[in-house]
Structure 1
Amino acid sequence: MTFSSAQIQDQVDAVMAIVGTGVLPPIVQAGHPVLRAEAAEFTGQLADAELAVLIEVMQKVMHAAPGVGLAAPQLGIGLQLAVLEDLYPVAETVADIRSREPLEFLAIINPRYTALGSETAAFYEGCLSMTGWQAVVERPARVQLDYTDAAGSARAAQYAGWQARIVQHETDHLGGILYIDKAHTRSLADGAEYAARWAQPGIELAQQGLRF
C-alpha cells in the first residue's frame, strides 16, 4: 500500500477537522493498516503553513500522551514525518544505566538511520500505538540520522543511548514497523506486570524471570 498526495491530504484534513473541534486527534492503535504501510516520502504534498500546523499538532499529541516521539502514521497520516522530544525528569541511576540524555524537540522528514559500530543495547520499550504493553528491544547503541528539517534543509546528526533508541523507534514507524517486530517476544509484559516486576533500570531480572 502506498499513499497518494490526495490520500495524504484527506488524512491531514481528517486530523485537522478533529483539531477544529477543540480536541486533539486520537493515536491509532496496532491493527490499523496505516501503521503497517510504508509511509510516502514527503515531496511537498503539504504547503509550508499546513506542514507547520501538523508538526505543532503532533507535538501537542505527543506531550498529552505523554510520550517521547510520535510519527505521522500514528495519527493516521501516511507521510514520512515524525516528532521527537525527551525532556522528562529521570532518576540519575536510570539515566546512567540507560544512557538517557535530554533530547530537545525535533521534527524529522524522510529520515533514515544507519548503525555506527557494532555495539547494541537492550531495554524495555513501549509505544503509544500499543497502549499498555512493554517489551525488550535490542537496538544499535549509536546511529547516524539523515533527514530533512521542517525548513526543507538536509541534516545529519549522530545519536547515542536513549536518544538513538527514540530515533530508531520513530523512524521505524515510517516503514510500517512496530517495536514488537524487533522485540524479544518472551519479554512482553502488560503495564501492570511490568510495573510490578520488571520496571528496573536494566533488564536482568526480566531476563531471568521470563527466560529470554
Structure 2
Amino acid sequence: MPTQALEGLVDGLLDGPRPLPLVLAGAPVLRQPAVPYDGQLGDERLARLARAMRETMHAAPGVGLAAPQVGVPLRIAVIEDPAEVPEPVRAARGRVPQPFRVLVNPSYEPVGGRRAAFFEGCLSVPGWQAVVGRYERVRLRGLDERGRELDEEFAGWPARIVQHETDHLAGTLYLDLAETRSFSSAQDVATRWAQPTPEDAARALGFPLAGPAAAAAGPDGQREGASDSG
C-alpha cells in the first residue's frame, strides 16, 4: 500500500470513534503478511496509533493487539499484561506482569525446544478458545516505537503473547496452530475448563498436550483468564 494511502487509512481511524473497531476473522487483512514498517507514518502518527491501539486493547480487554486487527497492514503490535491472576494460575502459566511495549517489525525464534499447551483466544475471534502448543521461551528481535533495537528473551506467558502477536503480522491466527478437538466456547472454558492447566480438557475432549501442560484460560482480553493477546 502506498505511503499516502497508509497515512490516509490511519488518519481516518484516528479521527474516528474510540476504541478502534476490531477486525474479525474472515477479513483479508488478517490473512496477508503485514508490510514492514519503514517510517511510513512518521513519528507523531505512529505514536498516536500506538496510543489508540493501547486504548483499544484495554477496552477489549486484551493483553496484546496487532495493527492488522484494526485494519492497518503494518508490522506493528502492542502488548501489556498486568497479570492480575491467582497465584496457582500465575505459577502454572509463568505469568508475570509485562509493561506496555510497542513492537515494530518483531520476529522471534525459540530458545530451546520446550513447549507448553494453553487455552488461547483472540480478539479477532471473539467468544471462542482452543489449546495451542507454543514455545515456552523465545528470543524477540525488532524495534520499539522510537526505533531503538529490541533483543530480549521472554518465557512463560509473556513468550506466548509475543508469539501470538508476531504471528498475526505473518497472517497467522491461533486457530491455524490449535488442537482442533479443544475448540471451545469461552463460556465452556470458564465453566468446565477453568483449572490452572488444560489436562482435564485434554482427557475429556480427546486431544494431546504439546509438552508440559499449562494454564487454561481465556485470552482475548479477559486478562484474568488467558492469552487474549490480540
Asked if 1:9 is matched to 2:7, the reply is yes
SS at match of 1:198: coil
Deviation digits for residues 170-212 of structure 1 (CA, Å, limit 9, x no counterpart): 0000000000100001100011221121121101110011100
Q: CA deviation at 1:11?
A: 2.3
Between the aligned partners of 1:168 and 1:86, the Cα distance in structure 2 is 14
Alignment size in residue pairs? 207
SS at match of 1:137: strand
Question: What is the aligned partner in structure 2 of residue 162 from structure 1?
Answer: 157
8 Å CA contact 2:83–2:98 kept in 1: the answer is: no
Between the aligned partners of 1:118 and 1:152, the Cα distance in structure 2 is 30
Deviation digits for residues 8-47 of structure 1 (CA, Å, limit 9, x no counterpart): 223212211314xxx3221111001100011000011011
Letter in 2 for 1:100: R
Question: What is the aligned partner in structure 2 of residue 62 from structure 1?
Answer: 57
TM-score, normalised relative to structure 1: 0.95
Give % identity: 49
Segments of 4+ moved more than 3 angstroms: none
Q: CA deviation at 1:79?
A: 0.4
Question: What is the aligned partner in structure 2 of residue 18 from structure 1?
Answer: 16
Structure 1 unaligned blocks of 5 or more: none
Return the structure number with greater helix share: 1
Return the structure number with greater strand share: 1
Structure 2 unaligned blocks of 5 or more: 208-230
Question: What is the aligned partner in structure 2 of residue 125 from structure 1?
Answer: 120
**Relative CO higher for 1 or 2, CA cutoff 8 Å, sep ≥ 6?**
2
Question: What is the aligned partner in structure 2 of residue 110 from structure 1?
Answer: 105
Question: What is the aligned partner in structure 1 of residue 197 from structure 2?
Answer: 202
Between the aligned partners of 1:195 and 1:155, the Cα distance in structure 2 is 35
Letter in 1 for 2:51: E
TM-score, normalised relative to structure 2: 0.88
RMSD of aligned Cα (Å): 1.0
Letter in 1 for 2:167: D
